Chains A and B, each alone.
Chain A
């Protein structure tokens, strides 16, 4: 059947060229990627307990938002649904699939839950509409406070089903929030929810970055009257630890993916140079030696190479350094203002902040092997400070397109972009956490 041949998931094809999912039928002959149209209904209370917390509405909203962000699905507007939700059930036998064919859905996602003061158990059913067949079933029990995380886990299951890789729905983002002239370190979920202030000392706190263990943040603060590097845990009551406090800059830290060392910019030698230090701040080793600025290191997934910025050619450009051999390669040759590279966690792609010939400040990707440049943003205000998601499919960045710098996330091709921070204040220099442990016991 034609409609069962998903002309689907270019991303899946690119990322997993040799792998074919048992469930997934991919029309490899098609040159065109088409988003997979999916209808998502709010979950249905199938238990005795009264839902005083609005889980039904939450489930639909969170699931639609999550899957929409991936850029892989065309999430259909529930206003157009023909089915009477009070009559229809959540199993294949009680669904009239012609209702869903008519609204143009290839896939249908339904769910049911039982809820009490302490717990929620939710089950999800994903159907192939044309075949009128269930493709995926999942069921979890969580504490009620983890309701949102439960939907995120189910959404991850959906993405994994279609692409063999879990998505970003269980990640966090750390960024700087500015209110007046104070800059705080602020942590939020990947979708902007559950935000909280991690550090506020009425001073400047800058350039936060995650340790790959997901438990600690490194950042620079002026609190001791010098831009020093600090570390703080995410857990309640965690103490602030000073990591590097050389005279001058101790900025732009990036912890290597294996968690063994930190690359950062120090200016103790008379200009900005890149150093490698241990995560405790010892064993400093100088990695660059050039006139002018060398800064903004970002580790490659191999824990050996670094992308960084240097203005040794006369303008800031993106370079690559092999820390084992010391070999340095220039990667960008277009533009005269390329900065703040961030290396993808799983590929040769490096996103960076650049300025085009029209003086637009936008985000680009350079391939570390081919040096091919891809543009991600254009004509949408100023866009800067990109950071990859742990699955390598998304990028978080700050943009002033609404009049004030806020955080946005986009798919790695730049096509799907969405604002995530709506809290007061302006937001900058985001960094994406690793994947966290997911909630719930599978049933």
Chain B
């Protein structure tokens, strides 16, 4: 979810093509679907390594394009081979960049799930005018996510404090809207967790409306347990994953 827009667009464009071909041909059994997915995922990771491992990145991109061409032409054997090569080159690029200390920071940021790179629509001046001068979060320019207890959409007192700041920001920037994204931890069925994520969005919305934020300022989407912030199967991971995220939507 928190990948850059570019990554999303690339994955979407590339796989939509292949998916369309798949649906039309119906030749699911022969198509290198797994290889394609793996190659695209690896390539998406490698985008962050573009600057530091340019040659490898470029070759990976080239091979992936060739794989897609073969895939579309239903030359699945060749497509499979090129997907495998594209994946290996993408991985190489990623790890090469990781070796390089200067590049590592960039990779960390790009691949971070912590939300620091979510400010695609925001304007640094606006964010800075909201945050107090001594706030260490100043450089993040973001609306902080809040967390929930297990199977609960109640907003704990410490989390309410965070929402009060969000309400303040929304009142300072009346042209902006905010997108709420509700999430649940992995426990329980995915079906129930979709409703739980939605309930958390509604709870946040209600709380902010009570603080004076207009009803038309919200967009909401529940992802249930589909988009964990942290991979893991312990209380720490679960706590991190039970959350509502906020994205500013520019006018």
Contacts and interface: CB of A to CB of B under 8 A. Distances in A.
Given A337-B188, A339-B189, A251 B194 contact: yes
B195 A183 contact: no
Contacts of A60: none
A311 B222 CA distance: 18
Nearest to A400: B233
Given A180-B37, A315-B151, A227 B222 contact: yes
B190 A353 contact: no
A295 B37 contact: no
A18 B12 CA distance: 59
Contacts of A272: 195, 198-199
A298 to B, nearest CB: 11
Interface string A381-405: 0001100000000000000000000
A292 B194 contact: no
A180 B41 contact: yes
Contacts of A181: 226-227
Contacts, number: 123
Interface stretch (A145-153, A158-166, A198-206): A198-206
Contacts of A425: 34
B16 interface: yes
Nearest to A311: B151
Interface string A349-364: 0000101000001000
B19 A201 contact: yes
A309 B192 contact: yes
Contacts of B19: 200-202
Given A202-B12, A202-B16, A293-B199, A251 B191 contact: yes
Contacts of B28: 196-197
Contacts of A196: 26, 28-29
Contacts of A309: 192
A207 B16 contact: no
Contacts of B33: 179, 197, 200
A196 to B, nearest CB: 4
B187 interface: yes
A425 B15 CA distance: 17
Most buried by A among B22, B34, B189: B189
Nearest to B187: A361
Interface string B171-211: 00000000000000001111110111011001000000000
Q: Is the interface of B mostly helix, strand, loop or mixed?
A: helix
A182 B15 contact: yes
A197 B199 contact: no
B231 to A, nearest CB: 11
A186 to B, nearest CB: 9
A237 B226 CA distance: 28
A201 B16 contact: yes
Interface in A220-278: 225-227, 236-237, 248-249, 251-252, 265, 267, 270-272
Contacts of A80: none
Contacts of B189: 296, 339-340, 353, 384-385, 429
Contacts of B29: 195-196
B226 A183 contact: yes
Given A180-B37, A226-B221, A252-B191, A200 B226 contact: no
A206 to B, nearest CB: 7
B191 A340 contact: yes
B34 A207 contact: no
B190 A249 contact: no
Contacts of A251: 191, 194-195
A202 B24 CA distance: 16
Interface in A268-310: 270-272, 292-293, 295-296, 309
Nearest to B14: A202
A384 B189 CA distance: 7
B220 interface: yes
Contact of A227 (B11, B23, B194): B194
A237 B25 CA distance: 7
Contacts of B194: 206, 227, 249, 251-252, 265, 295
B188 A236 contact: no
B192 A339 contact: yes
Nearest to A296: B191
A428 interface: yes
B15 A207 contact: no
B190 A206 contact: yes
Contacts of B227: 181
Interface in B32-87: 33-34, 37-38, 41
B34 A248 contact: no
A264 to B, nearest CB: 11
Given A200-B33, A425-B34, A248 B220 contact: yes
B151 A340 contact: no
Nearest to A270: B202
B172 to A, nearest CB: 27
A54 interface: no
A55 B189 CA distance: 41
Nearest to A340: B189
B15 A295 contact: no
A316 interface: yes
Given A201-B15, A201-B19, A248-B220, 8 more contacts: A202-B15, A202-B16, A236-B26, A293-B192, A293-B195, A293-B199, A336-B151, A339-B188
The 10 residue pairs across chains A and B that have the minimum distance between CB atoms? A202-B15, A196-B28, A272-B195, A236-B26, A340-B189, A339-B192, A293-B195, A179-B37, A295-B195, A339-B189
29 contacts: A179-B34, A182-B15, A195-B29, A197-B22, A201-B15, A202-B12, A202-B15, A202-B16, A206-B190, A225-B221, A226-B221, A227-B194, A237-B23, A237-B26, A251-B194, A267-B195, A267-B202, A271-B195, A272-B199, A293-B195, A296-B189, A316-B151, A340-B189, A340-B192, A355-B188, A361-B188, A385-B189, A429-B189, A429-B191
